[in-house]
Amino acid sequence: MQEFFTSLATGFGIFDIIDIGIIAFIIYKALGFIRESRAEQIVKGFLVLIVATFVSNLCHLYALNWILNGVMAFGIIALVVVFQPELRRVLEYIGRGKILSMKFSAIDNTWVKATASSITRAVDCFSTGKVGALIVMERDVTLSDIAETGTTLDAGVTAELLENIFYAGAPMHDGAVIIRGGRVYAAGCMLPLSRNRSLPSELGTRHRAGVGITEVSDAYCIIVSEETGVISTAYDGKIKRFLDIKSVEKGILNMFLDESSSSSESGLKAFLRRGHV
């Protein structure tokens, strides 16, 4: 026994520690992902199938073992199909991670603040008049496929333009506006609805669409309720409600203009890169 532990210690190097650390981190993130999504119950069912397959083989239940092996083979393919949205979200999260992000400098902060001011003035008007609105601000993940469901405008961001788009009698007021590069790129767009069952039951289609787009992209979304005038924001699949206009403006600037961290400049660059500055 002593020789076993001695050989284990001598053969255990720095790369083994790194290897174990990476695997532990992946397992930790995978468990967190399972808890936050609808995957938990399905994973439990899959684990039951694995245990049943092992027990049937151990007890020489050949017919049952043959059936379970077949189910397991097709089950792996089924998991990929069922969790396609979640897998896409994970890959997009990895792709836009800080490790792969480029750093930029010499960005016009004043222009970004002016754009944020126009958006917040419009949102304040919507909240006061109880006008429903859904504003999506594109970041690193392009929303061209979503923009194609609406009408391309490619106009400068002004409070007056946003007010006209979401006016109750306007033809595009029921859809979402996509802000790309500090410009109103498209309006009247249809967004994917969130499948998160933990969202409050009183939230309607507009709020679920706002959360849904942030589940499949890194977009920042501002939502105004038509019934109550309550302002909400959504990011990374999470929603914040009952915000005042100052909190909304601060949220936009924190998302696209963080002067204290150079690593966040890539997000700001994405906000500006396709704009006409």
Mind giving me the DSSP string for 96-161?
Answer: TSTTT--------HHHHHHHHHHHHHHHHHHHHHT--EEEEE--SS--HHHHTTSEEEEEE--HHH
Domain match, 140 and 240 both: yes
Asked if 147 and 232 sit in the same domain, the reply is yes
pLDDT tens readout for residues 36-50: 655 667 777 878 888
Tokens of 176: 């979402």
Residue 57 lies in a domain: yes
Final residue belonging to a domain, choices 95, 128, 144: 95
Residues 122 and 174: their CA atoms lie apart, in Å, by: 16
Separation between Cα atoms, residue 176 and residue 181, nearest integer Å: 16
Same domain for 123 and 259, yes or no, is: yes
CATH number at residue 124: 3.40.1700.10
Contact between residue 253 and residue 268 where contact means Cβ atoms under 8 Å apart: no
Q: Which of 95, 118, 148 is the last residue of a domain?
A: 95
pLDDT in tens, 167-222: 988 899 999 999 998 899 999 999 999 988 889 989 999 999 999 999 888 899 99
SS3 call for 277: coil
Residue 10 falls inside a structural domain: yes
Angle ∠(230,235,238) on CA atoms, nearest 5 = 75
Q: What pLDDT, on the 0 to 100 scale, is given for residue 99?
A: 42
**Quick check: 127 and 222 in contact, CB under 8 A?**
no
Three-point CA angle 116, 117, 120, nearest 5°? 85
Here the tokens at position 25 are 């981190």
Tally of domains within the chain? 2
pLDDT tens string 210-269: 999 998 888 999 999 999 999 999 999 999 999 999 999 999 999 887 543 434 444 554
Nearest to 221 by CA among 253, 184, 179, 181: 179
Residues 42 and 163 in one domain: no
Domain holding 58, by residue range, is: 2-95
| Residue 48 shares a structural domain with residue 113 | no
Residue 248 inside a domain? The answer is yes
